[in-house]
């Protein structure tokens, strides 16, 4: 759908006092806001699409750039784990080739392999200066490292790294959902503030009109009318700024969802207090980011173990089958080979001890990061709980303040119409009503954000939830 953003013009006014006239600072700020708000310039056109919170989360899990990168990193880690496991399997290679030479050693060996030696080939002339010979060969080679402790440890380390990537991807999914909720709340709050600003402008215009009639009747002074004009212009400026902030909030949400900057999501859900849910105890060790660090620590431990096992010997087996012939596709002779090999590196210039020291330090770093993250996770849960408690109280207080300010505004208008209140009293309670309405929206927004953050830090992940 296409939406056109309105732009209000702010006219200047002069507040007169007994000593002369001076420009209103509020009006000047309003004029500056109108001139420096490109997002809501007159005639600017933006496209948008209404979307619910659940739909926004689905869009983010499909199109968010950060989560797509996390999934790609998971694919890399899984592939590396498969590559590390591949070294434990035997390797099989097939080759075929052709060679022609009159090199005495080549001719002698080739005739042996082809089984074509004759009595005449033992003559001195034939041995020293043989005729060129063709050799068509095919072969199959099989190798298997039956016992190499370092490879088994490396495979285990790669498996733990893949597990860490899986948990990190799960945490990235949770972070994407949290970020979507926060931005969606921000877009809802922007719309609510814009509606509140529009209502405040309407109320300020009604007061200005009322003062204009009273001024025409000679019941209030010019200065009091100009104060009402100033309050209306200030309300217009706030409305312009609220329009800009609402569009900015929608654009931030759209970019997070992976949309083009020209298409803006429009929250279809109204801003309301999010359900608190059950406040049961949570185990930080079951959180996805903590589980990822645990897997990284396990991978570092296996890497250190691999360097320790490098002092042990390794045992491998090999086998081969080859055919040789003087003509293509003629198998004159074939031979095979079977064997085992034991390798034991006794000294490598202290390289293994250096690698072992590096791996030990890396394991200590991983363990330190895990323990610190665990302490921070516990502190986050406490902080989130306090945040929800504080936001709940602030929301209740702001709603009570909003109700009281609205009631005071209605009573003051009635008293003014009855001649029992001054124009300054009316302007004051109007300003208070506007402020408390905006504060109530901000308090509701902060409450929803606090609840979303609490769910995030208290999340529990399980193996079956992994991507």
Interval 395-415: pLDDT, tens = 999 999 999 999 998 999 888
CA distance 408 to 268: 33
Would you say 190 and 267 are in contact if contact means Cβ atoms under 8 Å apart? no
Residue 57 pLDDT > 80: yes
- Element (DSSP H or E) covering residue 97: strand 91-101
pLDDT in tens, 210-246: 899 989 988 889 999 999 999 999 999 999 999 999 9
Q: Which pLDDT band, with edges at 50, 70 and 90, does 20 fall under?
A: very low
CA distance 287 to 352: 36
| Residue 68 CB neighbour total at 10 angstroms | 15
pTM over 0.75: yes
What is the CA 57 to chain-centroid distance, rounded?
Answer: 13
Tokens 């074939």, residue?
334
E strand map for 211-362: 263-267, 314-325, 333-343
Q: Under 8 Å CB-to-CB from 411, ≥6 apart: which residues?
A: none
The tokens for 151 are 């490879």
Q: Under 8 Å CB-to-CB from 372, ≥6 apart: which residues?
A: none
Residue 40 pLDDT > 50: no
The tokens for 55 are 């739909």
Residue 135 pLDDT > 50: yes
| Residue 341 CB neighbour total at 10 angstroms | 12
CA distance 94 to 318: 14
Give me the percent of the chain exceeding a pLDDT of 70: 88
pLDDT in tens, 365-390: 999 999 999 999 999 999 999 999 99
What is the CA 46 to chain-centroid distance, rounded?
Answer: 27
Structural domains of the chain, ranges and CATH numbers in brackets: 2-85+167-303+374-465 (1.20.1600.10), 90-147+311-343 (2.20.200.10)
Would you say 222 and 211 are in contact if contact means Cβ atoms under 8 Å apart? no
Would you say 323 and 334 are in contact if contact means Cβ atoms under 8 Å apart? yes
Q: Under 8 Å CB-to-CB from 98, ≥6 apart: which residues?
A: 134, 135, 136, 137, 328
């Amino acid at each position: 759908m296409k939406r056109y953003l309105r732009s209000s013009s702010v006219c200047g006014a002069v507040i007169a006092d007994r000593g002369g006239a001076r420009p209103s600072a509020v009006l000047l700020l309003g004029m500056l806001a109108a001139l420096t708000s490109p997002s809501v310039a007159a005639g600017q056109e933006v496209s948008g699409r209404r979307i619910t919170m659940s739909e926004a989360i689905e869009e983010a899990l499909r199109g968010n750039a950060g989560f797509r990168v996390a999934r790609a990193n998971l694919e890399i880690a899984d592939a590396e784990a498969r590559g590390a496991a591949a070294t434990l399997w035997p390797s099989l290679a097939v080759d075929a080739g052709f060679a022609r030479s009159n090199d005495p050693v080549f001719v002698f060996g080739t005739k042996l392999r082809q089984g074509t030696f004759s009595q005449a080939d033992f003559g001195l002339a034939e041995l020293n200066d043989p005729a060129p010979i063709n050799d068509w060969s095919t072969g199959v080679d099989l190798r298997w490292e039956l016992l190499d402790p370092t490879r088994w440890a490396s495979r285990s380390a790669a498996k733990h790294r893949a597990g860490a990537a899986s948990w990190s991807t799960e945490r990235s999914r949770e972070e994407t959902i949290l970020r979507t909720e926060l931005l969606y709340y921000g877009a809802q709050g922007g719309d609510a503030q814009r509606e509140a600003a529009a209502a405040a402008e309407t109320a300020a215009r009604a007061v200005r009109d009322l003062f204009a009639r009273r001024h025409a009747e000679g019941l209030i002074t010019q200065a009091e009318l100009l104060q009402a004009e100033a309050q209306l212009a200030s309300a217009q400026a706030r409305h312009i700024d609220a329009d800009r902030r609402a569009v900015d909030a929608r654009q931030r949400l759209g970019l997070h969802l992976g949309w083009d900057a020209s298409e803006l999501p429009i929250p279809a859900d109204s801003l309301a207090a999010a359900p608190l849910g059950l406040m049961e105890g949570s185990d930080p060790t079951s959180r996805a980011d903590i589980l990822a660090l645990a897997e990284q620590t396990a991978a570092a431990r296996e890497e250190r173990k691999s360097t320790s096992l490098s002092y042990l010997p390794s045992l491998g087996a090999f086998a081969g089958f080859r055919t040789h012939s003087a003509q293509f596709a003629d198998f004159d002779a074939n031979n095979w080979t079977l064997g085992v090999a034991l390798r034991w590196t006794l000294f490598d210039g202290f390289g293994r001890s250096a690698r072992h020291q590096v791996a030990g330090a890396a394991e200590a770093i991983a363990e330190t990061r895990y323990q610190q993250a665990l302490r921070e996770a516990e502190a986050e849960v406490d902080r989130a709980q306090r945040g929800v408690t504080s936001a709940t109280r602030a929301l209740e207080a702001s709603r009570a303040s909003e109700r009281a300010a609205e009631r005071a505004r209605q009573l003051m208008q009635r008293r003014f119409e009855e001649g029992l209140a001054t124009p300054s009293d009316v302007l004051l309670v109007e300003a208070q009503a506007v402020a408390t309405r905006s504060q109530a929206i901000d308090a509701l927004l902060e409450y929803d954000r606090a609840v979303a953050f609490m769910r995030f830090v208290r999340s529990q992940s399980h193996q079956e939830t992994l991507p």
